[in-house]
Amino acid sequence: MKIHKNKASRFTRKFSGLLAATLLAGTLASVTAQAQTLRYALGYPPGSDSAKAAENYAEKVKEFSNDTLTVRVYPLSLLNFAETSAGLRDGMTDIGYLLSPYFPSEYPHTNLLAEAAMQTQLLDASVQGKEGPAYIGALLEYILFHCDNCNAEFANQNQVFTGIGASSNYLLNCREPVTTVAHLEGKRLRAAGSQWSRWATSFGATPVTLSGNEAMEALSQGVVDCVIISAPDLENLGIIEATRHITTDMPGGIFAGAPVTNVNRDAWRKLTSDQRRAMLHAAAYMSAEVPYVYHEREADVLRRAVSEKGITLHRASQDLADATREFVLKDMDVIAQYYKERHNVANGAEMLAEFRTILEKWVDLVQDVDSKEALAELYWTEVLSKVDPAKHGM
């Protein structure tokens, strides 16, 4: 069979064009698929509570975006805690589990609010066991709707705020018993925030700044006498292996400086409005799971500390309890003044007063919450669903 030369040429060109178009479509589809996969870096190790929460968050992003977005979680592999702020800013990750107190100059307004978390000790007894959920609800509402400076701080670091997490109460985890004012004199305490550093100093102890990843080794080698941290993080970070005594009601307060789902601003702006809304909805679940699980696990961790590790549990003496409450009352003014002098936060006292009103409202809102899913939907309906994804972070 003979094919005319011109017809053959036209056939070849047509076939080549179809082939090229097919290859191009396949390439574009591949690029699009890759562009919809977001990297999520966190400094906690695999298997930790926060790593599990991150995987659940990834599932929610996929669900709420109708499978147009996927999240790949990198626990303690892509970035550690100390690297997260710059790594997120520079696009080394698309989503980051940020611990803002590690970076005092970058996030002063956010840190002022987080640093005031020992004020949960000043609320009525109904907040006990719900400190984290209440504080996070108040932070979400305040940062998103009442703190332009907070959002400007994130924007200056090429980030978009979508959610925040908190721990359960912070405890004294030590090599030897520390239960009285006299016991604190001369001790070296790893403190995760300035409020606990001031608390330590007020009783004659020396605060030591270390990342969570370094705390276990420091305690085991006697570099510090105690680590101030929540009970679940004793297991999450391995600190339980070096702990011998725990004072369960000191110093109190929660760690609330954890914007757990901050998004790289360039990555955020490439998403559609519907995808950004999906990210906000998923962030409600991440923001809820972290504090809810921390509170839920506290009793289990302390039980295992005693039964499996031989750790002794203590309660603080009355003199230390009374002195700590007096410290917290005075420290609210100290925080406002400190941030004014060191970080030019001119309206710190007004921020704390406004925030306290919102916090008291959230203590009431979380009273009937009986699951992390219910808490997530409370955060979504009360706060995050009201954020305009077409404007936020844009």
Cα 203 to the chain's mean position, in Å? 29
- Residue numbers in the chain where pLDDT is lower than 70: 1-35
Entry field: residues in the chain: 394
Give the whole-angstrom CA distance, residue 258 versus residue 166: 6
Q: Which two tokens stand for residue 69?
A: 């977005």
For 228, phi and psi rounded to 5 degrees? Answer: -90, 110
- DSSP, collapsed to helix, strand or coil, labels residue 344 as coil
Distance CA 249, CA 302 (A): 12
For position 17, what pLDDT does the model report?
A: 46
pTM above 0.85, yes or no: no
Contact criterion met (CB below 8 Å) for 91 and 160:
no
CATH class in words for 36-167+255-308+347-386: alpha beta
pLDDT of residue 365: 97
Question: How far is residue 353's CA from residue 359's CA, in Å, rounded to a whole number?
Answer: 10
Look at residues 339, 281, 268 and name the one whose alpha carbon lies nearest to residue 113.
339
Judge contact between 167 and 232, C-beta under 8 A: yes
Q: Are 85 and 157 in contact (CB under 8 A)?
A: yes
C-alpha to C-alpha distances, 186 to 137, 175, 204, 325, nearest whole angstrom: 37, 14, 6, 21
Query: How many C-beta atoms lie closer than 10 Å to residue 92's C-beta?
Result: 16
Q: Which amino acid is at 261?
A: T
pLDDT at 324: 94
